[in-house]
Amino acid sequence: MKFFVALVLALLTPLTLNASQDTFDAETFALNYFDAWSATQSPHAKTEDIERYLALLTDDVGHQHLPYDPDGERDPQGKNNMREGMTYYLGSHMEYQSSLKGQLSGFDVLVIKYETYVKGKHPQTGELIEKSSETVEVLELENGKVSVIRKYSR
């Protein structure tokens, strides 16, 4: 994992981002993306929070998060599939904290690193879940929106 992160960071050293023909503010986008994502995980999250997050994604967004989503290929139903999955888990957290630790951009890619703490109940099994994790998300961008999300957590 450390090697992968180092490789991604090395490849992204030139800090130019061409997500659209207009000027793209990668730092602001990263903050908006992280804030929108975090809002969907809140114990008080609403469907409006999910929609705010999904507005940052292309309709055919690909999502990879091993071992849950092993295939990051773009899918014509990508955004709808994410909406369905996120709605299923909506409000299952009793506690949630997150902290953005860093970001890097270049070559139509944005990398963010964050830490989270979550405590909640699985909506199907009722199992109590409590964990802290460190996550790196590699966000591939197209026309100012996220087209592929590759999520690495430990």
Question: Higher model confidence: residue 12 or residue 137?
Answer: 137
Contacts of 142 (CB under 8 A, 6+ apart): 19, 58, 108
For residue 10, name the pLDDT band (cuts at 50, 70, 90).
very low
Q: What is the pLDDT of residues 15-54, one digit of tens each?
A: 444 444 468 899 999 999 999 999 999 999 999 999 999 9
pLDDT at 68: 83
- Listed by start position, the domains of the chain span 2-8+21-153
Q: What is the CATH number of domain 2-8+21-153?
A: 3.10.450.50
Tokens of 153: 């957590």
Mean pLDDT of 123-149: 96
C-alpha angle with apex 30: 71 to 8, nearest 5 degrees?
Answer: 55
Q: What is the pLDDT of residues 57-110, one digit of tens each?
A: 999 999 999 888 888 899 999 999 999 999 999 999 999 999 999 999 988 999
CA neighbor of 114 nearest in space, from 67, 68, 153: 153
| Residue that the structure tokens 């008080």 belong to | 44
pTM of the model: 0.83
Closest CA to 37 of 107, 135, 141: 135
- Give whole-number Cα distances, 34 to 37, 43, 64, 123, 129, in Å: 5, 16, 17, 24, 22
**Which pLDDT score is estimated for 2?**
52
